[in-house]
Structure 1
């Protein structure tokens, strides 16, 4: 799971994706996480969602 999230963070941090595609990538990452670990949605939301939200704010300057 960490590899998937790190890959997503790296792709988004490059800043080459349009904002909407980056959002779709974040959503796809969450779907993969829940497919791999269906009972760990809360853990994902506590650990990985804030990291992804932070990189989205930094790269796309959104609140």
Structure 2
């Protein structure tokens, strides 16, 4: 036995705006030719590692 009466679940509907459709059809996405952002980040990361190693080597050399 339940203490509260059971009511059917309410469904709240959203009105679909004409300027902002709910679903936009996007065609198949192909990567653009050229250098991707991840490639640039990877190369900059490698350069930064070599710079840090060089600075550590200079610091050790001064000891």
Q: TM-score when scaled to structure 1?
A: 0.33
**Higher share in helix:** 1
Higher CA-based Rg = 2
- State the TM-score, normalized to the length of structure 2: 0.33
Higher RCO (CA 8 Å, separation ≥ 6 residues): 1
